[in-house]
Amino acid sequence: MATTDAVPTGGPLRTTGRRPDVPEPSGAAPAGAGASPRFEVWASRLAGSLPLAWQRIPFTVTVLAATVLAGLFTRAFWHPSWQQSWFAQVAFGVPALREGRFWTPVSGGLFAHTPGQYLSGLLLFAVIVGACEIRMGTRVVAVTAVAGQVGGVLVASALVAALSTTPWGWAVELAAAREVGATTGTLTVLAVTTAALRSPWRLRIRAALCFTVVVAFLFEGTLGDVAHAVAVAVGLVVGQRLFGVEPGFGPRTRRETRVVAFAGLVAIGLVQVVVLLFPGDGPFGSTVGLAEPVVDVVADLVVVLVVANALRLGKRWAWWVTVGYGLLNVATAVLAVVAVVAGARPTVTPVAVGGALLWTGLTGYLLGTRGAFRVPLRRRVPGGLGGDEQDARERARALLVRNGGSTMSWMTLWPEIRYRFTDDGEGYVGYQRHAGIALALADPVVPPGQLAEAVAGFTDEAERGGLTPCLFSVTEAVADAARATGWRTVRIAEDTLLDLPGLAFTGRKWQTVRTALNRAKRDGIGFRTVVLADEPPAVLAQVRAISEEWVGNKGLPEMGFTLGGVDEALDRDVRVGLAVDGEGGVHGVTSWLPVYAPGGVVRGWTLDVMRRRADGFRPVMEFMIASACLEFAADGHEFVSLSGAPLARADGSAGTDRTDRLLDGLGGALEPFYGFRSLHAFKAKFAPRYEPVYLCFRDEADLPRIGIALTRAYLPDATPRQLVAAGFSGPRERTGAG
């Protein structure tokens, strides 16, 4: 017969009559116990992890323990709390404040309406607040959670009490409601913590958080939803001010801008379908039993299906369609809100009103980010044979491969570039148009001996279109051709070139580079050159995350013109260098643009993208550049260009010429944000040879507009406020540097 006699400490443990050395049959439960061994193991592990959890997240553990005890003591775990006699003593709301129960914003946070909400609330609090406490620290999270919970509930109650004096039926009903739950404090903690996150997750989590809160308010509209909206709005502002690691709230890259617009548009359509299928009762009335919203929802879905993908691609026509439809919804929303507050029933359904308000937010976002949606449907090309934009780019690519070009010529194949083809169709000039300036980029891509004719043809074409011609980042040969016709030239940068034949990184001057190579080998960091478009999605996602984190660290949006990004690196003719550890983690990424000689032969490569992971291998840039140089040398290429840092020169000084001062001022203004001059100094580690790069213009009176055109070319998505901030920060940086 089995026994359960206790034994003295240190003696053999006997719980059954079986021999201790005979194993228990598989799947058998211990004698005298109703639980399975798996539960005992799970419970033991949970108990053992509690001390560690207490050390790392003491606030989260304390609140969870208090909530569990409150639920057990009041039996709220298995009986809905709103049915209990004590509910009015702990629930918060306008009635509780009128009754003098000022403790309810805190006490109400320990309960939930139903057992299901109790469990989901505990899980939500544990995951969100626990993770945020690890990131932000116990003190910050504790203060934020309590202040957010109490402040959000009090402000929401005050707003509802004030609105209940109007004929708005929703507010009158809400003023009599009582609520429980701690989600207000939980969402406040999340809103504050987003300020400490890096791009792109910073914006994505904020967008998802705001969208969820707004949708819940529009289509459910409980007192808790009002408190959530208040707490999240305040939490975002306060968190950004106190803990922001990146400036502002907007997206940093054109891709992220377009993705957010695409996601918002799709989400609006999906939300309205869900609300139609699962009706509720919100601030603008009940959607139960309504058939009229079907037409409104179908109309929205048609717009979403037609323009969503085009909006993701940055198409200008999609932006106009979405904004136009959004403005119609804005008018609908304004009229409906006025009618509801005045106590009248709006002429449109609650689903349409809520959807119109969502469209209002999306329309405001699109108006504020219109610079990211400039890809035309078709664009005529001046000069030569003409054609649409895609045809022009393909023609330009073929001409560049046939004629060859300078180290920066590949950049003329990027978006935003227009083309002026020569009269015989054998060459082209790539340019952008800003502030009345036709800003040509790099040398004309023409057969040998036709540089002067190409410059003259570009000048004539620009003048016929009412534009002022300007040549930017051209070589000595083009500068000589421009000077011969009376143009003025100024050196704006140096192209940094490494000759590859015989390159071995030996000698004292290469010590830093050798150290990076040796350390990478010791740390298990490898290098490979790839076609990025062929890489697995996991690798591409890491590359995008590294790039967007780098852009997020800047005070200005992503730059363009002579600075490419991940989208440009996806070109199959571009080679991308990756620094990868043994677990597949990407530590850094570089991209290399081909430099063609006449006849279609790649004679060299130009460095474009340089991005590194903030917490990755420190000397990863030196390692990747050196590894790429050795690989290109082994393949028989002539040189690599580390590219000239825009608006930076080797001597680092400005001349007394007015043009020098203008460009030095622009470069100095952008230096604190993008470090062009620091980048130029970094490239000096590779002991390159320098070739001058020029700006060519005809009249000093054009310089102010040229400065504006350059700013717009490099910063097409910057707001006036950001540009003003750049202007003020530049002089401070130069003063600080002596």
Task: Identify whether 38 is part of a domain.
Answer: no
Please give the average per-residue pLDDT across 162-166, as a whole number. 91
Q: How far apart are CA 271 and CA 282, in angstroms?
A: 14
Q: Is the pLDDT of residue 520 over 80?
A: yes
470, 438 in Cβ contact below 8 A?
yes
Handedness of CA 142, 123, 538, 255 (dihedral sign): negative
Backbone angle region of 594, left / alpha / beta, with phi > 0 → left and psi within -120 to 50 → alpha: beta
349: phi then psi, degrees, rounded to nearest 5: -80, 160
Q: Is the pLDDT of residue 17 over 60?
A: no
Final residue of a structural domain among 361, 378, 395: 378
Query: Is the pLDDT higher at 724 or at 673?
Result: 724
Domain span holding position 371: 254-270+279-378
Please give the average per-residue pLDDT across 497-513, as a whole number. 89
DSSP SS3 for 617: coil
Task: Identify whether 630 is part of a domain.
Answer: yes
Average pLDDT, the chain: 82
pLDDT of residue 408: 94
Final residue of a structural domain among 332, 363, 378: 378
What digits encode the pLDDT tens for the residues 629-687? 999 999 999 999 988 655 445 554 444 455 555 555 555 544 444 445 566 667 778 88
pLDDT of residue 716: 79
Task: Identify whether 79 is part of a domain.
Answer: yes
DSSP SS3 for 58: helix
Q: What is the dihedral of CA 423, 429, 430, 432, to 10 degrees?
A: -90
Task: Identify whether 617 is part of a domain.
Answer: yes
The DSSP result for 180-225, as a single string, is --SHHHHHHHHHHHGGGSPTTHHHHHHHHHHHHHHHHHHHT--HHH
Q: How many domains does the chain have?
A: 3
Backbone angle region of 259, left / alpha / beta, with phi > 0 → left and psi within -120 to 50 → alpha: alpha
Please give the average per-residue pLDDT across 163-181, as a whole number. 91
Confidence band for 557, pLDDT divided at 50, 70 and 90: low
Residue 307 and residue 242 share a domain? no
Burial 158-187 (b: 16+ CB within 10 A, else e): ebbbebbeeebebbeebbeebbbbbbbbbb
The CB-side HSE value for 223 (13 A sphere, CA atoms) comes to 31
Parallel/antiparallel/unpaired status of strands 601-612 and 428-434: unpaired
Which of 25-39, 166-180, 388-402 shows the lowest per-residue confidence on average (mean pLDDT)? 25-39
Per DSSP, 108 falls in state G
Residue 265 and residue 213 share a domain? no
Q: How far apart are CA 590 and CA 576, in angstroms?
A: 6
Please give the model's pTM, rounded to 2 decimal places: 0.67
pLDDT of residue 715: 80
Query: Is the pLDDT higher at 402 or at 506?
Result: 402
Preceding peptide of 200 cis, ω within 30°: yes
Residue 219 and residue 71 share a domain? yes
Residue 163 and residue 61 share a domain? yes
Query: Looking at residue 637, which CATH number applies to its domain?
Result: 3.40.630.30
pLDDT of residue 13: 35
For residue 449, count CB atoms less than 10 angstroms from its CB and return exposed for 0-12, middle for 13-18, buried for 19 or more.
Answer: exposed
Residue 283 and residue 242 share a domain? no
101, 161 in Cβ contact below 8 A?
no
pLDDT of residue 109: 93
Residue 241 and residue 259 share a domain? no
Please give the average per-residue pLDDT across 550-572, as a whole number. 80
DSSP SS3 for 502: coil
Q: Is the pLDDT of residue 626 over 60?
A: yes
Confidence band for 346, pLDDT divided at 50, 70 and 90: low
